[in-house]
Chains A and B, each alone.
Chain A
Amino acid sequence: MTEAVNGGAAGGAGSEGILLKGGLVLDPASQTEQVMDVRIAEGVVQEMGVGLDAAGARVVDVSGKIVAPGLIDLHVHLREPGGEVHETVQTGSMAAAAGGFTTICAMPNTSPRGDDPTVMEYILRKGAGFGLTEVLPIGTVSKQSEGKEISEIGLLYQAGACAISDDGNPVVSGLVLRRALEYAKPFGIPVIDHCEDPDLKDGGLMHEGYWSTRLGLKGIPAESEAVAVARDILLAGLTRGKMHLAHISARQSVELLRFAAESGIPVTAEATPHHLTLTDADVQGYHTSFKVSPPLRGEEHRRAVLEAVKSGLITCIATDHAPWDAENKDCEFENASNGISGLETALAVVWDALVVREKMRPMDLIARMTLGPAEVLGRKDRGRLRAGGRADLVVIDPELSKRVDRGTLYTKGRNCPYHGRVYQGWPVLTVAGGRMTMRDGKVMYEG
């Protein structure tokens, strides 16, 4: 059920093979950091080494560039079924290919919701048909994501769910979350929680602090996240289940993650590119592209989350790609929907912030977008680069600087806070299941 289905699915360069020549191969799993060639054929990395023979393969010179495992995004909203005006599996997959992703995990807050095996099968089938990226569906924790009764987690898993989550909403009941953590154990899939205490959020619109006061927008305290993080960590300790915390945004949450690590409690977490690079000060002007849940927080919070990503306390970067059409965003701040379209800009935004500015090792950053998420999913077949493994790769040009233009994005969402800003470090080639899906920013798909 989880086999790669996109190998050569839409023809292209899959059959004769590709030789990526002279790139710096970075593989976090093996800590490989070496200039060498990578030969791909039949959906598999055939060999890696210096001075490989082309053996009939199409040769692509990638010298001066980095060859890494294909990126994995644990957290995207594809909106389909039900929200096709905002995004579809197709447009989301194109955005993923453009962004260097070869696996994306689709949240179940669709209509109908992903609380039924048929929705899992639908997403899998749709994603496979485009052959642009592997789309792994996430099922719900609870029926209708109402937080009352746990979903048919076993049936969802059998139908292809890679995780369960009620994302968009927190699992408010500690008891329901406990049951889900316990019940999901035989399947080895993570329970992903959107950490937020709705009472403390109290209808807030942005991070509570100087800027919420100055702008007159109702605040959401950082503690509304952290109290939920604390509970989730304690329940992970109680159940020893696979607890994964979505989009961590608060300094206090990071401190609690440190407590968990020191206490040996098994919990993983992700941070988004926007929480790593933007703050509540960006909300001035009331531009709705900066309205997101959890909200952009103050600099001390951004700094704390960034340090946690650098140190490896947070092992995953996930986009929380949340596309919306203009109707949901071209309006008053209070009326706007929460969310940022982030698939296509993710790598450049974090590369620029973490590698260029913060001097994070490229190997470590790549790990957060490949090996880290693969380990959360419990998938040994991806997030790694090795001979005989899946040919999911991304080629990164660490020197390329580009200005973001939301008008040229593949996603339907135009809610892009990075519009007009320049970032350094872009994906220039994506190979998914042995097939070239993006080259120089152009997605290779003929529909």
Chain B
Amino acid sequence: MGSDYGKLDFKDLISMEQLDAGQIDLILQNAAELKRVLERDIKKVPTLRGRTVLNLFYENSTRTRTSFELAGKYMSADVVNINAAASSVSKGESLRDTGQTLNRMAADLIVIRHPMSGAPAYLGRTVSARVINGGDGLHQHPTQSLLDLYTARDKLGDLKGMKVAIVGDVLHSRVARSNLSGFRTMGAEVWLCGPPTLMPPGLEDMGAKITWDMDEAVRNAQAVMMLRIQRERQASGLFPSIREYSQRYGLNARRLKLADSGCLVMHPGPMNRGVEISGEIADGVQSVIEEQVTNGVAVRMALLYLMAGRKGGDGE
């Protein structure tokens, strides 16, 4: 592959901050094409035949891992899943050594999910295979953002000037950070909302609008994205109770009425029904949560095509 990385002119995809609007557009357009494969009876194209994709997951994940696995298989790549808990990693092998080993096995692309921010960037520096960040710590989850962008654009059209509200545990959310960057790059206005203890400093300097008042965040929004709240955050004293959190930062029918009439309801999953989102809203007509999952496969197929395909997707 050498230094010719094709239209995505970087070796590793670590952060949405790397992508300009043209590159995001390229990925989403390819995703739209490849999504048709998912609608076929025989879901297989030969595009990535002879290419090897490794899923290196240091964190539990059902949807991201499965989504990458299917994306690769639908395009005929050889996909190997490495569950770090079940490999030599649990015997104390360093990420560096694991990366070297996988590199020696001639992987073309490694998807890594890791609980520590920066681990994919570190891995990328130590291996010649291209690396896609499948979610790292509190940092970034670029493929989630790309599938969210795909879903929003599919429903809303051009995102320029749209108001997107992201609500919940912003402090611990790589989804919030990725989407702040991704939606802004595509011209949307991004509001971040949560209790002050879950809102880290510097968000405004990153271009976000900030509020602690969920009604203000949701008002006239074209999309509301709810973040998963982990119960252990309550135990560490970041908010007093699930009951209070749900009342102040949960999405319910009353709040959704404040939004634009066609407002999309999004959630990266897995959901805590009745905590950050009420069941009726999650299953309601405005919810695109299930479509997000399908689009996730299409977007990952596009990325694998552009990053693991011959000459970065130009050749086939």
Interface residues of A (CB under 8 A from B): 208-219, 285-286, 327, 330-335
Identify which of B122, B138, B174 contacts A218 (C-beta below 8 A).
Answer: B138
**Contact between chains at B118 and A213 (CB < 8 Å):** no
Whether B157 sits at the interface, judged by CB under 8 Å, is: no
**Contact between chains at B118 and A331 (CB < 8 Å):** no
Interface residues of B (CB under 8 A from A): 94-96, 114, 116-119, 121-122, 136-140, 174, 177, 200-203, 205-206
**Contact between chains at A334 and B117 (CB < 8 Å):** yes
**Contact between chains at A213 and B95 (CB < 8 Å):** no
When distances are taken between beta carbons in the complex, the residues of chain A under 8 Å from B116 are 332-335
Does more than half of chain A's interface fall in helix, strand or loop, or is it mixed?
A: loop
Q: How far is the CB of B19 from chain A (nearest CB, A)?
A: 15
Q: What's the Cα separation between A217 and B200 when bound, in Å?
A: 11
**Contact between chains at A217 and B118 (CB < 8 Å):** yes
When distances are taken between beta carbons in the complex, the residues of chain B under 8 Å from A327 are 94
Beyond the given A216-B174, A218-B138, please list 15 additional residue pairs across the A-B interface where CB-CB is below 8 A.
Answer: A209-B202, A210-B206, A213-B201, A213-B203, A215-B117, A216-B117, A219-B200, A219-B201, A286-B118, A330-B96, A331-B94, A331-B96, A331-B122, A332-B118, A334-B118
Q: What's the Cα separation between A330 and B121 when bound, in Å?
A: 13
The chain A residue with its CB closest to the CB of B121 is A286
A-B pairs with lowest CB-CB distance, top 9: A216-B139, A286-B118, A210-B202, A216-B138, A216-B117, A213-B200, A334-B116, A213-B202, A333-B118
Q: How far is the CB of B115 from chain A (nearest CB, A)?
A: 8
Q: How far is the CB of B283 from chain A (nearest CB, A)?
A: 32
When distances are taken between beta carbons in the complex, the residues of chain B under 8 Å from A210 are 201-202, 205-206
Q: How far is the CB of A420 from chain B (nearest CB, A)?
A: 15
The chain A residue with its CB closest to the CB of B171 is A213
Q: How far is the CB of A337 from chain B (nearest CB, A)?
A: 14
**Selected A-B contacts with CB under 8 Å, 21 pairs:** A209-B202, A212-B201, A213-B177, A213-B200, A213-B203, A214-B202, A216-B117, A216-B136, A216-B140, A216-B177, A219-B201, A327-B94, A331-B122, A332-B95, A332-B122, A333-B117, A333-B118, A333-B122, A334-B116, A334-B118, A335-B116
Q: What's the Cα separation between A288 and B116 when bound, in Å?
A: 13
Q: How far is the CB of A67 from chain B (nearest CB, A)?
A: 44
Known contacts A331-B96, A334-B137; A214 and B206 CB within 8 A of each other? yes
The chain A residue with its CB closest to the CB of B119 is A332
Q: How far is the CB of A327 from chain B (nearest CB, A)?
A: 8
Interface centre among A210, A217, A286, A335 (most CB of B within 10 A): A286
Q: What's the Cα separation between A211 and B138 when bound, in Å?
A: 12
When distances are taken between beta carbons in the complex, the residues of chain B under 8 Å from A212 are 200-202
Q: What's the Cα separation between A286 and B116 when bound, in Å?
A: 11
Q: How far is the CB of A228 from chain B (nearest CB, A)?
A: 21
Q: How far is the CB of B253 from chain A (nearest CB, A)?
A: 32
When distances are taken between beta carbons in the complex, the residues of chain B under 8 Å from A218 are 138
Q: What's the Cα separation between A425 and B125 when bound, in Å?
A: 33
Q: What's the Cα separation between A229 and B135 when bound, in Å?
A: 38
Q: How far is the CB of A112 from chain B (nearest CB, A)?
A: 26
When distances are taken between beta carbons in the complex, the residues of chain B under 8 Å from A286 are 117-118, 121-122
Q: What's the Cα separation between A337 and B210 when bound, in Å?
A: 35
Q: How far is the CB of B67 from chain A (nearest CB, A)?
A: 22
When distances are taken between beta carbons in the complex, the residues of chain B under 8 Å from A208 are 200-201
Q: What's the Cα separation between A332 and B117 when bound, in Å?
A: 8
When distances are taken between beta carbons in the complex, the residues of chain A under 8 Å from B140 are 216
Q: What's the Cα separation between A285 and B121 when bound, in Å?
A: 7
**Contact between chains at A215 and B122 (CB < 8 Å):** no
The chain B residue with its CB closest to the CB of A210 is B202
Q: How far is the CB of A201 from chain B (nearest CB, A)?
A: 14
When distances are taken between beta carbons in the complex, the residues of chain A under 8 Å from B200 are 208, 212-213, 219
**Contact between chains at A216 and B94 (CB < 8 Å):** no
Q: What's the Cα separation between A286 and B140 when bound, in Å?
A: 13
Q: What's the Cα separation between A331 and B177 when bound, in Å?
A: 24
Q: How far is the CB of B276 from chain A (nearest CB, A)?
A: 20
**Contact between chains at B138 and A332 (CB < 8 Å):** no
When distances are taken between beta carbons in the complex, the residues of chain B under 8 Å from A209 are 201-202
When distances are taken between beta carbons in the complex, the residues of chain A under 8 Å from B95 are 331-332
Q: How far is the CB of B30 from chain A (nearest CB, A)?
A: 28
When distances are taken between beta carbons in the complex, the residues of chain B under 8 Å from A219 are 200-201
